[in-house]
Chain A
Amino acid sequence: MQLKYIDEFRDPGLARGLVEKTRAAWAGRPPMRIMEVCGTHTVSIARAGIRSLLSGVVTLISGPGCPVCVTPDGYIDAAVGLGMRPDTIIATFGDMLRVPGRRSSLEKERGNGIDARVLYSPLDAVEIAAKNKDKEVVFLGVGFETTAPSIAGAILAAADRKIPNFSVLSSVRTIPLAMEALASDPEVRIEGFLCPAHVSAIIGSDAYIPVAGKFGLPCVVAGFEPLDILCGIYMLLLQKKRGAASVENEYARVATAAGNRKALGVISRVFEPGDIAWRGIGVLPGTGLRIREDFSAFDAQVKFGIAVPSEAEKTACRCGDVLKGKITPPQCPLFGKACTPEEPYGPCMVSSEGSCAAYFKYGAA
């Protein structure tokens, strides 16, 4: 019943040892403020109960690494709008289905007749387009560098197979420059970064050298299994202890220094860098990936002549401050009251990786 390369990285004995050594190494010092950038880390940490194991040793701040959380609500409105067109199928990752836009969500609009389908892979959306030539299939391309090659791959497949009724409503963001923006915000007070596992598999651990260098912050790429996270945190603490600020890679079994060059090539064939808005944070220059003009036939914004509206913030929602790590979820005035998993006000609560959802589900401990 062992799942290879998963269960070995959840070994309870090794976990105990790592926790003991971490506590011993840090004894007596104030907790180190570490930002874990990636939403998958947020969920893994919560599911493994890591905060309870390292309380007093680290303060783990969840960053904006949840692509659903940082997608402006205007994007959902645009998706719903497209879904209401006749003969249109909206294909999406499950993560987006319940996210509220300004007016509604895809899930709610399914009740009103929108054809919104949850898929596991963007290639499945291309298949749906191939099998339904009389319909338009719009794929909601939301993600970071981990998912960008897959979204690009789907566009290339559609181009290759000459499938005109497929397009992507793109909402892709990149991580390293966003980390720099966070590191330079004095209110956030980060002392180290736990860097994402699979974003790093694509972009390479060297991508964090500028962050580490410019801001003097230790950066450790860590896998998503509990032992990876414990070890990654241990490595950050040791760097801090000796005053180092370099990039280390705990996830060497998958992520390399240079990343996946072929995947990076696929990304740059289809996408080009641009400016993009991060919900609750604002526009971060150069952190967006836009579909290139050569592939504009597959760009839903161009094809349907729509623009994803940039946000007018819902005022009471403090998702932005949660995403930046300025406040913890319970410090948002809406947490648990006007904003709950059943009736989410903002995406941090409904996204499977949102900090607020994780707090609610797994407890703050």
Chain B
Amino acid sequence: MSGGKILLSHGEGGKRTRELIRKVIAKRFDNPVLAPLFDSGLLGRLDGEVAFTTDGYVVTPAIFPGGDIGKLAVCGTLNDLSVCGARPVAVSCSLILEEGFPVKTLETILDSMKAAADEGNVPVACGDTKVVEKGNADGIFITTSGVGILRDGWRPAPEKVRPGDRVILSGTMGDHQTAVLIARNRLELSAEILSDVAPLSSMLIGVLDAFGEKVRFMRDPTRGGVGVSLNEMAESSRIRIVLDETRLPVAEGVRGICEILGFDPLYLANEGKALLIVDGGAAEGIVAALRKTAYGRNAAVIGEATDGTPGVLMKTAVGGMRAVDYPVGDQLPRIC
């Protein structure tokens, strides 16, 4: 269709738009909610308390080792629901395409979205497509929103965190941001690192099913990494968290890149990981349960909540103590 490129007319609401939606987009997302192509997706009665989230995705390049912007957009929204204890019910897909964007690339991205949505057991219930003039968008921007139903009897409870609780990270840090950095290819580095982008719904709902209130509260450490998320958690809970540097899971390739560029993996973005603050006594059991799942194989206890001024500290590999504060902006490759 149309010489393989997206044209402005694809976004104007006319024949081309209908063709794009029916033959390319809706065809792939194919589900009963979307099928009538009403102005809204009708979800029916929802039994329980509703959770609602939204996120925009602008990653460059659109396709990177381990995934693409489509998979990222769906998983990101599903994970935001899951860490709040919500079983996902539906997601939306809003696309902004740059004039000239290759249709084949769009199809690859849509296929990824469908696969991620299927894995998360969720329909793409509604969507929108706009096209902007060349130069006004970086290829493709995607916004997804998600609706979920909170699990009975569990709510994120930062106020319940107390000294003795433990901090669990469900796997290795920094894979996603490192994979994207390499894919951008401005630093002439190569490494076999894949983005960790993944839908965590079944892993996390499974943990909540088994351990319930022993899990106080969870977050997904995306932009700014574990360092930022833990600071946010420490603030919400008004608690001090002390990490153990020797227990932080980091893949070898990511460590290599970090050593070369002078990066701290604590602040690198993840897209398939969860941070959980849990009852101290249940921590080992929760780690064992996570390790039995596909996306939690490298789960580990990385620290604990203690008395003291709220904030995040780390016991270093050599036994010293240092602060782990909010970073200023993204890390830059340094020579110093």
Contacts and interface: CB of A to CB of B under 8 A. Distances in A.
Are A and B direct contacts in the complex by CB distance below 8 Å? Answer: yes
Interface of A: 1, 3, 6, 10, 12, 15-16, 19, 39-40, 43, 46-53, 66-68, 93-95, 97-98, 117-121, 124, 143, 146-147, 226-227, 230, 341-342, 351-353, 360-363, 365
A12 B245 CA distance: 11
A363 B323 contact: yes
List the 8 closest A-B pairs by CB distance, nearest first.
Answer: A49-B320, A94-B332, A363-B323, A15-B318, A341-B328, A49-B322, A353-B336, A226-B318
Nearest to A124: B188
Given A1-B255, A3-B252, A67 B321 contact: no
Contacts of B246: 12
B335 interface: yes
Given A1-B255, A362-B322, 14 more contacts: A1-B250, A3-B259, A6-B259, A10-B317, A15-B318, A47-B264, A49-B316, A53-B319, A68-B336, A94-B332, A95-B334, A98-B332, A360-B325, A363-B313
Contact of B335 (A95, A226, A361): A95
B45 interface: no
Given A98-B329, A117-B186, A124-B188, A227 B318 contact: yes
A117 B332 CA distance: 11
B245 to A, nearest CB: 9
Given A3-B256, A52-B322, A352-B262, A147 B317 contact: no
A110 to B, nearest CB: 12
Given A93-B333, A120-B188, A48 B252 contact: no
A50 B246 CA distance: 16
Interface in B299-336: 313-323, 325, 327-329, 332-336
Contact of B318 (A3, A12, A51, A143): A12
A144 to B, nearest CB: 9
Given A49-B320, A120-B188, A365-B322, A342 B332 contact: no
Contacts of A47: 264, 316, 322
Contacts of B255: 1, 3
Contact of B333 (A16, A120, A227): A120
A10 B320 CA distance: 12
A355 to B, nearest CB: 12
B51 interface: no
A361 B264 CA distance: 12
Given A52-B321, A124-B188, A365-B321, A97 B332 contact: yes
A68 B259 CA distance: 20
A353 B332 CA distance: 12
Interface centre among B315, B320, B328 (most CB of A within 10 A): B320
Given A117-B186, A118-B333, A119-B186, A53 B320 contact: yes
Contacts of B316: 47-49, 226
B333 A230 contact: no
Interface in B264-294: 264
Given A12-B317, A53-B319, A98-B329, A39 B252 contact: no
Interface in B74-131: none
| Interface range for B | 35 or more
B318 A94 contact: no
A15 B319 contact: yes
Given A3-B259, A361-B323, A362-B323, A53 B332 contact: no
13 contacts: A1-B252, A43-B336, A47-B322, A49-B322, A53-B319, A68-B336, A94-B332, A98-B328, A119-B186, A352-B336, A361-B323, A362-B322, A362-B325
Interface in B158-199: 186-189
Nearest to B332: A94
B207 interface: no
A94 B92 CA distance: 38
A353 B262 CA distance: 11
A194 B315 CA distance: 24
Interface centre among A6, A10, A48, A51 (most CB of B within 10 A): A48
B63 interface: no
B318 A66 contact: no
Nearest to A19: B319
B261 interface: yes
A363 B323 CA distance: 5
B320 to A, nearest CB: 2
Nearest to A3: B255
A97 B336 CA distance: 13
Nearest to A97: B332
B336 A40 contact: yes
Contacts of A50: 318, 320
A284 B111 CA distance: 63
Contacts of A66: 336
A10 B318 contact: yes
A176 to B, nearest CB: 19
Contacts of A49: 314-316, 318-322
Interface centre among A39, A53, A94, A147 (most CB of B within 10 A): A94
Contacts of A51: 320
A297 to B, nearest CB: 25
Nearest to A340: B328
B335 A93 contact: yes
Interface centre among A53, A120, A365 (most CB of B within 10 A): A120
Given A12-B246, A98-B329, A119-B186, A53 B318 contact: yes
Contacts of B336: 39-40, 43, 66-68, 93, 95, 351-353
Nearest to A46: B322
A49 B329 CA distance: 23
B329 to A, nearest CB: 7
Interface centre among B246, B252, B334 (most CB of A within 10 A): B334
A147 B335 CA distance: 8
